[in-house]
């Protein structure tokens, strides 16, 4: 880093901290650098995405979380005849919905064709593998599965125990995916004019502008229909799933999207192309208030909002410690600058890893 500060488009000076960029030393999937992360996870090919048994366990944990959130909204007893999953990937989530008897017909849509990565038969094959592990005397395998589930629950902020899978999923029920659509959800119209009672968007709606998205979802829901969302949150210290190293904590929260891209070009030109690839959020700096406003404008009511809050040593040192004046720096500098970009910003936004939202069509 050759510069000690960055000037925003409105003339605000944002001080950069020597050595902060180098504090980020890990990426997911064993990746070693931002460039490698951009190349492997944002290249637009299905091979970049995880698959297999571990990925399936992830989906089961998310599904259990989904069921419990619906219970909290007093929707857990409802059956959703027609269900659609946006950004469905290999279509595991809609298959689980159907295998649990929560819908009669399950559809999925994705911009990429990933339907060949998973089959209807895989649903109960993997469920049986999980059940065998639970019933096994192999404590090592049991602990390995428990570690995966605990890690995923911790990320979601979900402490609901995973029940016996046999009480949820019945092999005698139909569990096949009824329709897999490859295309852009925003321009897609069901061929028969179908409407849905449940639409889910898990770790994908950050790719969309929130207002057109909510309007599109509302148009495809039957009256009383539900839209369930889990957002990979923008404000988390390294930018959520963007995994961005930066020269100051929460720099992406304090700059507009355009200024953030310019910062990389001016201060970190060697990483600028990779960073721009990873800044994939269609509209950054969104908070629960923004999603609520978008829902209201679309004729949807936000009936539940829940954060999963990070609780690691880095964030504890930044905010909960007076060492080096970091507490004052956070509240005196970071928060005001973030509020300047989006007045809805509150301190918990900086520690939110995932945001779960449930909308209902009025």
Tell me how far apart the alpha carbons of residues 355 and 202 are, in angstroms, rounded to a whole number. 10
Split at pLDDT 50, 70, 90, the class of 355 is very high
| pTM metric for this prediction | 0.91
Average pLDDT over residues 67-77: 90
Give backbone dihedrals phi and psi of 316, rounded to 5 degrees, phi first. -65, -40
Average pLDDT, the chain: 89
> What are the helix (H) ranges across the chain?
34-41, 53-72, 92-99, 120-135, 139-156, 210-220, 251-254, 257-267, 272-278, 288-298, 313-319, 326-329, 335-341
Residue 157: predicted pLDDT:
77
> Quick one: which of 304, 239, 253, 235 has its CA closest to 70?
304
Residue 323: predicted pLDDT:
52
Average pLDDT over residues 317-329: 64
Split at pLDDT 50, 70, 90, the class of 220 is very high
φ/ψ bin of 184: left (φ > 0), alpha (ψ from -120 to 50), beta (otherwise): beta
337-344 LR contacts (CB < 8 Å, sep 24+): 337/12, 337/14, 337/253, 337/254, 338/235, 338/250, 338/253, 338/254, 338/285, 340/12, 340/254, 341/253, 341/254, 341/255, 341/256, 341/285, 342/285, 342/286, 342/287, 342/290, 344/287, 344/289, 344/290
Lowest mean pLDDT among 34-43, 45-54, 74-83, 304-313: 45-54
The DSSP bridge partners found for residue 202 are 230
What is the DSSP code (8-state) at residue 161?
A: P
Contacts of residue 31, Cβ cutoff 8 Å, sequence gap at least 6: 37, 40, 41
Domain borders along the chain are 5-30+233-361, 48-202
What is the DSSP code (8-state) at residue 189?
A: -
pLDDT 10s digits, 139-153: 888 888 888 888 788
Tokens of 25: 């030393």
Residue 48: predicted pLDDT:
59
Q: Are 277 and 350 in contact (CB under 8 A)?
A: no
Tell me how far apart the alpha carbons of residues 14 and 16 are, in angstroms, rounded to a whole number. 7
Tell me how far apart the alpha carbons of residues 337 and 345 are, in angstroms, rounded to a whole number. 10
Contacts of residue 205, Cβ cutoff 8 Å, sequence gap at least 6: 86, 87, 213, 229, 231
> Quick one: which of 345, 322, 326 has its CA closest to 335?
345
Between residues 187 and 158, the one the model is more confident about: 187
Residue 349: predicted pLDDT:
92
Q: How does 126-154 read in b/e, with b if 16+ C-beta sit within 10 Å?
A: bbeebeebeeeeeeeeeeebeeebeebbe
Tell me how far apart the alpha carbons of residues 347 and 333 are, in angstroms, rounded to a whole number. 12
Contacts of residue 162, Cβ cutoff 8 Å, sequence gap at least 6: 60, 61, 64, 149
Tokens 């003339």 found at: 11
Residue 132: predicted pLDDT:
87
Percent of the chain with pLDDT over 90: 56
Helices 92-99, 120-135: axis angle to 10 degrees equals: 70
Q: Please tell me whether residue 308 adopts helix, strand or coil conformation.
A: strand
pLDDT 10s digits, 39-56: 888 765 555 566 778 888
Tokens 């269609």 found at: 282
pLDDT 10s digits, 191-210: 999 999 999 999 899 999 99
Distance of CA 203 to the CA centre of its chain: 3
pLDDT 10s digits, 82-132: 999 999 999 999 999 999 999 999 999 999 888 888 888 888 888 888 888
Residue 103: predicted pLDDT:
94
Q: Please tell me whether residue 150 adopts helix, strand or coil conformation.
A: helix
The DSSP bridge pattern shows strands 196-202 and 179-182 to be unpaired
Split at pLDDT 50, 70, 90, the class of 30 is confident
């Amino acid at each position: 880093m050759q510069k000690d500060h960055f000037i925003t488009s409105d003339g605000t000076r944002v001080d950069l901290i020597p050595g902060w960029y180098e504090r980020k030393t890990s990426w997911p999937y064993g990746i070693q650098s931002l460039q490698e992360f951009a190349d492997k996870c944002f290249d637009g090919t299905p091979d970049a995405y995880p698959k297999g048994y571990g990925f399936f366990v992830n989906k089961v944990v998310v599904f259990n979380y989904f069921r419990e959130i619906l219970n909290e909204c007093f929707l857990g007893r409802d059956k959703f005849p027609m269900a659609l999953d946006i950004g469905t990937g290999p279509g595991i989530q809609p298959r689980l919905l159907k295998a649990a008897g929560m819908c009669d017909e399950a559809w999925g849509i994705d911009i990429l064709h990933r339907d060949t990565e998973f089959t209807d038969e895989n649903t109960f094959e993997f469920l049986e593998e999980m059940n065998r592990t639970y019933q096994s005397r192999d404590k090592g395998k049991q602990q390995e599965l428990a570690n995966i589930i605990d890690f995923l629950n911790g990320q979601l902020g979900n402490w609901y125990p995973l029940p016996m899978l046999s009480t949820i999923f019945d092999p005698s029920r139909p569990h096949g995916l009824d329709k897999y659509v490859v295309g852009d959800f925003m321009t897609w119209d069901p061929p028969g004019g179908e409407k849905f009672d449940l639409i889910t968007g898990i770790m994908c709606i950050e790719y969309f502008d929130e207002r057109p998205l909510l309007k599109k979802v509302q148009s495809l829901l039957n009256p009383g229909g539900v839209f369930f969302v889990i957002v990979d949150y923008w404000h988390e210290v390294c930018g959520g799933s963007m995994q961005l190293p930066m020269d100051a904590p929460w720099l992406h929260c304090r700059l507009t999207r355009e200024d953030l891209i310019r910062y990389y070009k001016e201060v970190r030109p060697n990483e600028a192309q990779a960073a721009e690839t990873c800044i994939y959020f269609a509209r950054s700096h969104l908070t629960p208030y923004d999603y609520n406003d978008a829902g209201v404008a679309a004729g949807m009511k936000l009936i539940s909002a829940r954060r999963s809050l990070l609780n690691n040593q880095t964030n504890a040192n930044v905010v909960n410690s007076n060492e080096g004046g970091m507490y004052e720096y956070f509240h005196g500098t970071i928060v005001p600058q973030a509020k300047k970009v989006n007045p809805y910003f509150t301190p918990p936004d900086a520690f939110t890893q995932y945001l779960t939202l449930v909308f209902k069509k009025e």
